[in-house]
Amino acid sequence: MDQALAHGSARFITFEGGEGVGKSTQVARLLRRLEASGVDAVRTREPGGTPNAEAIRTFILQGRSEKWGAASEAVLFAAARLDHVTNFIGPHLDAGQWVICDRFQDSTRAYQGLTGGVDEQTIGSLEVLALDGRTPDLTLVLDMDPEAAFDRVNARMIEAELAETGDRFEREDLVWHHRLRENFLSIARNNPERCVVISADQSEDDMEETIWRIVSARFSDRIGPDNE
């Protein structure tokens, strides 16, 4: 079935990209813009979004699954995603609410698959299981040089007087993060109907405007000028 029809009138939008590129910031801003246009929307994140998936998130990000290897971690992320799709994303879309998700299946493809070395067939099978047909209508891939993204995050941490430790994936070296960036770009190139790459090397306000232009143009049938 056409995915747009499968979701009814609601739309499913995901944000993807490396660490610190501004995904959470823009998820919050897009939600505000949608609400201001009269669209009923909810935000969520991965791994997480339901109590079971949040438990898996804590387990992985504390590094407790690291020794198990990328394939086992891909299975854990898929288990969290299946619970999230079944108990949060699917029900909200079916109720007519748009769902805006901070990371989704492309993160498993980029981190565990292309960067972590888990083969395409395994990633594909896990994706079929976990998504249960809920492919995003639009994926915004935020892209910037990982060094610049880390500088930005560190500057904010110093401003807020927070100690920098980083979770399991943030502690990987820069070469790894450059490879990750290339892998997100290659996923976007391979899925041109679904993915749009956005430069994250702009101010928060400019990024918000760019994203709003893309979302409102793509879903102009749902976000009419009458609602602005």
Ligand X SMILES: Cc1cn([C@H]2C[C@H](O)[C@@H](COP(=O)(O)OP(=O)(O)O)O2)c(=O)[nH]c1=O
- The annotated binding site for ATP is made up of 17-24
| Long-range pairs, 162-169, Cβ under 8 A, ≥24 | 167/61, 167/62, 167/63, 168/60, 168/61, 168/62, 168/63, 168/66, 169/19, 169/61, 169/111
Closest CA to 107 of 53, 44, 45, 27: 45
- From the list ligand X, ligand ADP, none, which binds 107 (C-beta under 5 to 8 Å, kind-based)? ligand X
Q: Provide the minimum distance between the beta carbon of 9 and ligand ADP in the complex, in angstroms, as a whole number.
A: 28
With CB cut-offs between 5 and 8 Å by kind, which of ligand ADP, ligand X, none does residue 203 bind?
ligand ADP
Q: By CB under 6 A, is residue 153 in contact with ligand ADP?
A: yes
- Indicate whether 203 belongs to the interface with ligand ADP (CB under 6 A): yes
Quick check: bond before 47 cis, omega within 30? yes
86 burial class (0-12, 13-18, 19+ CB within 10 angstroms)?
A: middle
Nearest residue (CB) to ligand ADP, 100 versus 207: 207
47 binding partner (options ligand X, ligand ADP, none; Cβ < 5 to 8 Å by kind): ligand X
Is residue 209 close enough to count as binding ligand ADP by CB under 6 A?
no
With beta carbons less than 8 A apart as the criterion, state whether 102 and 24 touch: yes
What is the x/- site pattern for ligand ADP, positions 9-28, by CB under 6 A?
Answer: ----------xxxxxxx---
- What is the closest distance, in whole angstroms, from the C-beta atom of residue 22 to ligand ADP in the complex? 3
DSSP reduced 3-state for 2: coil
The residue written with tokens 């029900």 in the block is: 91
* 207 contributes a contact to ligand ADP by CB under 6 A: yes
DSSP state of 1: -
Residue nearer to ligand X on the CB measure, 37 or 107: 107
Residue 24 CB, shortest distance to ligand X, in Å, is 6
Residue set of the binding site:
17-24
Contact residues for ligand X, defined by CB under 6 A: 19, 23, 46-47, 61, 77, 103, 107-108, 111-112, 167, 169
Largest CA distance in the chain: 54
Instruction: Give the Cα separation of 34 and 209 in Å (integer).
Output: 12
Q: Report the interface residues with ligand ADP, using CB under 6 A.
A: 19-25, 152-153, 156, 203-204, 207
